Amino acid sequence: MPSIQNARVLFNSVPKGFPVPGETTVYDTTPTIDLDTVSLNGGFLIKTLVLSVDPYFRVAMGGGSHPGFTLGSPIAGFGVAVVVRSETPGVEVGRHVYGHTILHQEYIVVPELGALQLMERHPNLPWSVYLGAAGMPGQTAYMGWKEYSSAKAGEVVFVTAGAGSVGSMVIQLAKKDGLKVITSAGSEEKVKFLRSLGGDVVFNYKTTDTRMILKKEGPIDIYWDNVGGDILEAALENAAVHARFLQCGSISGYNSGQESSKMFHHINGKALHVHGVIMAHLPLMKYLPEFYTTIPPQLASGELKYTEEVTRGLDKVGDVILSVQKGTNTAKGIVLVAYE
């Protein structure tokens, strides 16, 4: 077989604010690959199918708690790929791999399974869902909630960025546990989705005063934070004594510089319990088998709801990254690279 294009998305420069498509990341079509003759050296060759675009990408572009992208190299993240050639025992052609080290590149030679895992999907779910509600975001929500919320029926939870793949799962888990759910999003389309999830108090934080809502509907016993910033301040002000704060993200500061809270005296004054929720530090083996047994079937049956925004083409990665950072995406950001 003659060589074919092996396009990729390179991390080209550290952004000063929002990432700029074509500058921060560059779509590069110059590499080629011969699928039949490329050396595997005991590894295996995969074809990238779907890629996840997540809020933490901005942190990886400028330091922080996530490993950084390498300038001049393809960016990497969660993805699903299919094996097209293999010299690795147990990794057969036609099997699918999933993990957080999938390069944003059409074809990749992988030296060993390593952090990737062989994956089977539910027959009624597309692979894209395994990058959202049935993947890392859903797992973060499920494990974080089970491990840290100490939820009790009748309590009040406030979930920010509720229309995202993490927030929407948290809302549904909280409703199953019998809590009153306050939740917010940044567009009327997203607010409509939150109502469909069963949110008890749903509002657009861009047009409604968060403090007014929390003062009226709180105090809050549990706060699941995906945004940080002033909304975190409002949650601290309206927290109940012994409230649990589950800090999962702070996207409001990713593109403008992180700002520390001026209200952290409430942690001591209200004896709050604060937990960082990040996939790398969650007890995977404690919850992962239970997650895969229960969540994908519930997503497939419609018992649990999800949304996703699938964009076709590796060349659109930069645009999707920007939309996720600005919050103009309508649902979980997915890039469809190829069909099998």
What angle, rounded to 10 degrees, do the helices at 165-176 and 188-196 form?
Answer: 30
Q: Which residues lie closer than 8 Å to 11 by C-beta, 6 or more apart?
A: 24, 25, 61, 69, 70, 71, 72, 73, 74, 75
Number of compact structural domains in the chain: 2
pTM: 0.91
Strand order from edge to edge, sheet including 180-185 = 201-204, 180-185, 156-159, 220-225, 239-247, 273-276
Residue 297: inside a domain: no
| 230-232-237-243 Cα dihedral, nearest 10 degrees | 180
49, 114: one domain: yes
Residue 95: inside a domain: yes
Q: Quick one: how far is CA 146 from the chain centroid?
A: 18
- Check if the beta carbon of residue 197 is closer than 8 Å to that of residue 133: no
Average pLDDT for residues 201-227, to the nearest whole number? 96
Supply the pLDDT for residue 253: 60
Interior/surface letters 90-105, b for 16+ CB within 10 angstroms, e for the rest: ebeeebbbbbbebbbb
3-class DSSP state of 204:
strand
Both structure tokens of 221: 């016993």
- Check if the beta carbon of residue 204 is closer than 8 Å to that of residue 225: no
Supply the pLDDT for residue 63: 47
Residue 152: inside a domain: yes
Average pLDDT, the chain: 93
74, 125: one domain: yes
* Res 146 pLDDT > 50: yes
Supply the pLDDT for residue 269: 84
167, 70: one domain: no
81, 191: one domain: no
Residue 288: inside a domain: no
128, 140: one domain: no
Supply the pLDDT for residue 261: 60
186 vs 20: CA distance, rounded Å: 22
160, 121: one domain: no
229, 194: one domain: yes
243 vs 128: CA distance, rounded Å: 35
121, 154: one domain: no
232 vs 335: CA distance, rounded Å: 31
Confidence label for 65 from pLDDT (cuts 50, 70 and 90) = very low
If one counts every other C-beta atom within 10 angstroms of the C-beta of residue 113, the result is 15
Q: Which residues lie closer than 8 Å to 25 by C-beta, 6 or more apart?
A: 9, 10, 11, 12, 19, 75, 317, 318, 321
Supply the pLDDT for residue 257: 62
User: Given 265, 281, 297, which residue is the final one in a domain?
Assistant: 281
150, 264: one domain: yes
If one counts every other C-beta atom within 10 angstroms of the C-beta of residue 140, the result is 20
Supply the pLDDT for residue 259: 57
Which domain covers residue 260, as residue numbers?
136-281
Average pLDDT for residues 53-64, to the nearest whole number? 83
CATH number at 143 reads 3.40.50.720
Residue 293: inside a domain: no
Report the relative pairing of strands 76-86 and 96-103 from DSSP bridges.
Answer: antiparallel
